[in-house]
Amino acid sequence: MSHDLPPLNALRAFEATARLNSVSQAAEQLHVTHGAVSRQLKVLEEHLGVALFIKDGRGLKLTDAGIRLRDASAEAFERLRTVCAELTQSTADAPFVLGCSGSLLARWFIPRLGRLNADLPDLRLHLSAGEGDLDPRRPGLDALLVFAEPPWPADMQVYELASERIGPVMSPRFAGFERLQQAPASALLTEPLLHTTSRPQAWPSWAQQSGLDAKALKYGQGFEHLYYLLEAAVAGLGVAIAPEPLVAEDLKAGRLVAPWGFSETPAQLALWLPKRAADGRARQLAQWLKNELRQAD
C-alpha cells in the first residue's frame, strides 16, 4: 500500500461528497460534473485499496473506512480554509508597498495620489522612494514602478504601461530662452546642457532620435538625480532633458516649455513584481496607471 497522500482533487471530491452526502451537490459546489466527482471517488478508493461508500437505496452510505476519512478530511480542509482565509485577510489588510524614483514620485505620482485614492479606495498604497537601489525581490517592497528597457528579468511579472518619451525642456526664465525657443534642435549642440548622472544616456538617446551627432553634445551643470535636474531647469539654469510625464504639469502651467517636442525611446514605464508574489492588487494598480497615462496623452 502506498504511503503517499492521495491526489488532492480526489480528496476534495470525497470531502465535499461526505460532507453534503450527495455526489450531485458536491459536483455543484466544486463546479464540476457529476461524472467527474464519481471518477475522483473511484481514484481515491483505488489508491487506498478500501471502499469508502456503499449503495444505500438510491443514495450512498459511508463505510467505516469512509467515516474515518470523512472525519479526518473534514478537520484538515476546515483548517486549510481557516488558514487561507487568514492569509487572504492578512494580505488585504497589509499595505501594498510600491517603489519608484524620487523624481517620478514627486513629479508624477503625488499630484495624482488623491485621484488614485478616490478611484481605488480599497488599495492601501505605501510609496517608497529610491534611486537605483529599489528591488521588489527584497523584503519590504511589493512592486516597482520604473522606466527601463526590455528584455525583462525572467523572474519578474512586468506590466508595460507606456512607451517612454523624452525631450529637452527649459524655463521662460532661462537667459537663453528667447534665443533658443524658435531655433532648430541643432542649436542645442552648442549649448551647455544640464544633465544627470542617473540617466547618462538621456541626451545621447535624444540626439540620435533627432538625427544629431551625440558626440557633439556639450554638457554644463550636472546633477545626481533627475528631480534636482528638473528643479534646476524650472529655476532657469539651463536646458534639461526629461521624460514627458514628469514635466507634464510644468508644461501646462508654463513653468517649462518643450520647443523641440518629445521623442520615443526603447524604454517603457512599467510595473514590476516578482512572479512568485503575484498579487491581484498589482494588476488593479497597473490598469489604473495605464488609464491615467492614456488620459494624459
Cα of first residue to Cα of last residue in the chain, in angstroms, is 66
| Predicted pLDDT at 75 | 87
Q: Which amino acid is at 152?
A: W
| Predicted pLDDT at 92 | 55
Answer yes or no: are the C-beta atoms of 241 and 217 closer than 8 Å: no
Q: Which three three-digit cell numbers place residue 75?
A: 478537520
| Predicted pLDDT at 38 | 92
> Got the DSSP string for 117-150?
HHH-TT--EEEEE-SS---TTSTT-SEEEEEEPS
Q: Across the chain, which distance is largest between two alpha carbons, in Å? A: 98
Closest CA to 162 of 78, 36, 279, 288: 288
| Predicted pLDDT at 130 | 78
What CA–CA distances, in Å, run from 170 to 8, 34, 129, 211, 238? Answer: 64, 70, 26, 21, 6
Q: What is the 3-state secondary structure (H, E, C) of 53-120?
A: EEEECCEEEECHHHHHHHHHHHHHHHHHHHHHHHHHHHHHHCCEEEEECHHHHHHHHHHHHHHHHHHC
| Predicted pLDDT at 1 | 42
From first to last of its 297 residues, what are the pLDDT tens digits of the chain?
Answer: 446 788 889 999 999 998 888 898 888 888 899 999 999 999 999 999 999 998 887 778 899 998 999 999 888 888 887 777 656 655 556 889 999 999 999 999 999 999 999 999 988 899 988 766 678 887 788 999 999 889 998 889 999 999 999 999 999 999 999 999 999 999 999 999 999 988 899 999 999 989 999 999 999 999 988 999 999 999 999 999 999 999 999 999 999 999 999 999 889 999 999 887 667 889 999 999 999 998 866
Q: Which amino acid is at 233?
A: A
Answer yes or no: are the C-beta atoms of 281 and 122 closer than 8 Å: no
Q: Answer yes or no: CATH 3.40.190.10 is held by domain 96-161+267-295.
A: yes
Query: Where do the structural domains in the chain lie, given as residue ranges?
Result: 8-88, 96-161+267-295, 164-265
User: The pTM is what?
Assistant: 0.65
Topology annotation, domain 164-265: D-Maltodextrin-Binding Protein; domain 2 (3.40.190)
| Same fold? 8-88, 164-265 | no
| Predicted pLDDT at 21 | 87
Closest CA to 158 of 275, 242, 78: 275
| Predicted pLDDT at 184 | 96
Q: Which three three-digit cell numbers place residue 162?
A: 507606456
Answer yes or no: are the C-beta atoms of 212 and 189 closer than 8 Å: yes
Topology annotation, domain 8-88: Arc Repressor Mutant, subunit A (1.10.10)
